[in-house]
Amino acid sequence: MSETGIGASVKRREDLRFITGAGRYTDDIDQPGQAYAAFLRSPHARAAIGAIDASAALQVPGVLAVYTGQDLAADGIGDLPCGWMVKSKDGSDMIQPPHPPIAVECVNYVGEPFGLVVAETLQAARDGAEAVAVDFDALPAVVDPASAMQGDQLYAQAPNNRCYDWELGDQAATDAAFARADHVTTLDIVNNRLIPNAMEPRAATGCFDAASGDYTLYTTSQNPHLARLVMAAFVQVAPESKLRVVSPDVGGGFGSKIFVYAEETAVTWAAGKLRRPVKWRAERAESFLADAHGRDHVTKAELALAADGEMLGLRVSTIANMGAYLSTFASSVPTYLYGTLLAGQYKTPAVYVGVQAVFTNTSPVDAYRGAGRPEATYVVERLVETAARELKMDPTALRRRNFIQPADFPYETPVALVYDTGDYEASLNRALEHVDYAGFAARRDAAQARGKRRGIGFSCYIEACGLAPSQVAMSLGAGVGLFESAEVRVNVTGSVTVITGAHSHGQGHETTFAQIVSERLGIPFDSVEVAHGDTSRGDYGLGTYGSRSLAVGGSAIVKATDKIIAKGKKIVAHAFETTDEQIDFTEGVFAERDSNRSMTFGEVAFSAYVPANFPLDELEPGLSEKAFYDPGNFTYPAGAHVCEVEVDAETGVLEIVKFVAVDDFGHVINPMIVAGQVHGGLCQGIGQALCEHGVYDASGQLVTGSFLDYCLPRADDVPSFVVDTTVTPCTHNPLGVKGCGEAGAIGATAAVMNAVTDALGVKELAMPATSEVVWRALSAA
């Protein structure tokens, strides 16, 4: 292995700009003559919009315009669409209420934009927004998802406030499994609402060139091409060919920056109206109110077992909160990213899941790190652990009893997926070594002597990543293909520019993708540049989410490099007057078989651009290749997470004293970066378990609307982690990789809550398990 090739912990080239303050995030980029937008946001959870009086606002010095939803609608601006059509079990389409970017007749959650003020300065825009007078007719709000179907009907087309009633699996077979079970474990689970909170608030600057009619949008997007597509095809701000979307450095996303929101749409439109750039940056309070939230499921789950621990059937019924509108991919999260994962790592032969998605007067809920898979893992792993306790079996033994075995792959689950490979016991064994499971009993006794209760919990998760095989996704309702594109441009002097449709907002693609190309082409790491995040630079791309960038985008890059090598062989064969079958390519050298003639990669690049005597009907000049890669299957990262906690029996204060994560991501390109991804995911998973909670009061006001009220984990809330990997290479992509971005957040939450409930000796405990929750549980016991 070279120092910069596949498998090396190469230091990130991105870092130099970030550690010196030279990063360029959307809010760092100003345009000449730019104006500033402030959005008018609903103070009500649900209200009819009456008269909007902007006269005072227009008198505020510097205010240029006040726009309402009616202005956008009158200009032909369309609704924000949901890109995944889910069908109910009766075959009917999901219900998609109209979602104008700027509300026109009614507001349906606190913080929903119903207008914007544009001014010469940000202060003037905010002062103008303060001066707008609105007659709202407040209406009763529906807030709680569990009772939403009995609440006031929010949309005429959505009886019972239901978006869809979806099912997956064989209900009769599952019911039969329960009928013959020796034991049934039942849990009522609330998967708490989370607010993503990437550290960079969303921002957008719309620009318009009146001479050409071209629009440019600088925005904090995880997928600029998708933003362009939606804004062109659905919202109809500008034709695709007239809209350039640039996502420069983006300060974290975790899903929340996948979606196409009102604000970037409106500032781009406003730039065209005012013929000058319009900039907006969210205050954190706006991020809390108007970024799509995550999770928020209410579930009843049952596991049927034989007396010896064999898992016979799993039955799950979930109410999923969609919020007030369907965000871009909201409908897919509690269905195809959730129900399909409920087999977990186990051979449970019968699984049935029903999901009712409901509308409430809360911020839209969509994909947040893991997106459906953390919710599935939480259901399965809490059930398995609880079942082990009820059957008085060791929780690791119960899991081993039911693991899908290496010889079983490819393994078709009862919930529509085909796992390609894995070795779940290997990850569990490694995790148990790291945590010293054999020594746990002694540690528990020692803690007891100190007045502490110690508990241990496990989570053996699986996820489906590498979104996605377009054929599968589109047959299930996806409105877009989910391939990825790559272009490998070999420059005349032999350096290489790689353009990827994936987008990096912390993942380090500029480093890892260069490692891949450097190794594949046998050229120095420093000769490879990676570009992304600008629709004017690359072909269509689908961006970064669902741990897809390496498995799908990296595979596209490999495919493009293969084409470069094939073209290079043709060039060399021509030079040597032989056939390209006679040319071998290894470590940057094209060599003729059975001869001593060869050309370096640099020589071939140069000759491609000085085609003095190319047979032009057979061989084009130049050395630049594009590839689109559509995966044959999902990838299936899996692993074992183990958490040990100590609880102070007097105060309820809880400490994670050990956290071990052993993950199988297939081959690893850069172990340093992979470990970093796991650390961050674990912190978010632990945050869900112990402190994060998005709370609305009964009237629909967001109670946790700032970092003072919403507990984002801080450095002293989490431990140092032990992370390790096992490897079963993915069988169907050229790198044998699976994806690592979400695993931490998928696996950790159940491990923590299994440890906490073990320490407390309780069956169920609501998340987040704050000291108060723990103390109350201890007091009740």
Instruction: State whether the Cα torsion 21-24-25-30 is positive or negative.
Output: positive
Residue 673 interacting with other proteins (CB under 8 A): yes
**Which residue stretch of 383-391, 506-514, 530-538, 604-612 sits at the interface with other proteins (rule: CB under 8 A)?**
506-514
Residue 18 interacting with other proteins (CB under 8 A): yes
Q: Contact at 8 Å (CB) between 356 and 287?
A: no
**Under DSSP, is residue 130 helix (H, G, I), strand (E, B) or coil?**
helix
Q: Contact at 8 Å (CB) between 214 and 467?
A: no
- Output 605 or 661, the one with its CB closest to other proteins: 661
Q: Which residue(s) pair with 485 in the sheet? A: 628
- Output 249 or 625, the one with its CB closest to other proteins: 249
Residue 33 interacting with other proteins (CB under 8 A): no
- Output 170 or 717, the one with its CB closest to other proteins: 717
- Output 200 or 625, the one with its CB closest to other proteins: 200
Interface pick for other proteins out of 284, 300, 537, 626 (rule CB under 8 A)? 284
Interface pick for other proteins out of 4, 8, 14, 552 (rule CB under 8 A)? 14
Q: Closest approach of Cβ 677 to other proteins, in Å?
A: 8
Q: Closest approach of Cβ 712 to other proteins, in Å?
A: 6
Site for other proteins in 388-417 (CB under 8 A): none
- Output 21 or 615, the one with its CB closest to other proteins: 21
**Under DSSP, is residue 176 helix (H, G, I), strand (E, B) or coil?**
helix
**Which residue stretch of 228-236, 279-287, 420-428, 624-632 sits at the interface with other proteins (rule: CB under 8 A)?**
279-287
Residue 703 interacting with other proteins (CB under 8 A): no
Structure tokens at 34: 């730019």
d(CA 749, CA 682): 8
- Output 87 or 679, the one with its CB closest to other proteins: 679
**Which residue stretch of 140-148, 199-207, 456-464, 537-545 sits at the interface with other proteins (rule: CB under 8 A)?**
199-207
Interface pick for other proteins out of 193, 297, 505, 738 (rule CB under 8 A)? 505
Give all strands of the β-sheet with 311-323 in edge-to-edge order. 162-169, 350-359, 311-323, 297-305, 183-191
Nearest to 151 by CA among 73, 45, 241, 80: 45
Rg over CA atoms, the chain: 27
Nearest to 694 by CA among 192, 141, 257, 319: 192
Q: Closest approach of Cβ 93 to other proteins, in Å?
A: 36
In the block, tokens 């090598």 appear at 565
Residue 48 interacting with other proteins (CB under 8 A): no
Q: Contact at 8 Å (CB) between 102 and 67?
A: yes
Rounded-to-5 percentages of helix, strand, coil across the chain: 30, 25, 40
DSSP 294: B
Residue 711 interacting with other proteins (CB under 8 A): no
Q: Closest approach of Cβ 231 to other proteins, in Å?
A: 24
Q: Report residue 635 CA to chain centroid gap.
A: 15
Burial class (CB in 10 A: 0-12, 13-18, 19+), 682: buried
- Output 38 or 572, the one with its CB closest to other proteins: 38
Site for other proteins in 236-255 (CB under 8 A): 249-252, 254
Interface pick for other proteins out of 68, 340, 361, 684 (rule CB under 8 A)? 684
To the nearest 10°, the Cα dihedral for 680, 544, 711, 25?
A: 100
Q: Report residue 365 CA to chain centroid gap.
A: 13
Burial class (CB in 10 A: 0-12, 13-18, 19+), 714: exposed
Site size toward other proteins, by CB under 8 A: 56
Q: What is the DSSP string of 61-108?
A: TTEEEEEEHHHHHHTT--PPPPSB--B-TTSPBPP-----SS-SSEE-
Interface pick for other proteins out of 56, 285, 306, 480 (rule CB under 8 A)? 285
| Interface pattern 625-664 for other proteins (x via CB under 8 A) | ----------------------------------------
Site for other proteins in 531-590 (CB under 8 A): none
Structure tokens at 426: 């290997």
- Output 252 or 524, the one with its CB closest to other proteins: 252
Measured in residues, the chain has a length of 781
Q: Contact at 8 Å (CB) between 268 and 231?
A: yes
Longest pairwise C-alpha distance within the chain: 87
**Which residue stretch of 23-31, 292-300, 346-354, 755-763 sits at the interface with other proteins (rule: CB under 8 A)?**
23-31
**Which residue stretch of 127-135, 163-171, 338-346, 676-684 sits at the interface with other proteins (rule: CB under 8 A)?**
676-684
**Which residue stretch of 21-29, 105-113, 138-146, 166-174 sits at the interface with other proteins (rule: CB under 8 A)?**
21-29
Structure tokens at 105: 């007749």
Residue 708 interacting with other proteins (CB under 8 A): yes
Q: Contact at 8 Å (CB) between 619 and 606?
A: no
Interface pick for other proteins out of 71, 112, 165, 200 (rule CB under 8 A)? 200
- Output 401 or 509, the one with its CB closest to other proteins: 509
Interface pick for other proteins out of 5, 248, 611, 676 (rule CB under 8 A)? 676
Interface pick for other proteins out of 744, 746, 756, 757 (rule CB under 8 A)? 744
Q: Report residue 227 CA to chain centroid gap.
A: 16
Q: Which residue(s) pair with 365 in the sheet? A: 293
Site for other proteins in 430-469 (CB under 8 A): none
- Output 283 or 436, the one with its CB closest to other proteins: 283
Which residue ranges make up the site for other proteins (CB under 8 A)?
A: 11-12, 14-25, 27-28, 197-201, 249-252, 254, 283-285, 505-508, 672-673, 675-677, 679-684, 706-708, 712-716, 718, 720-721, 744
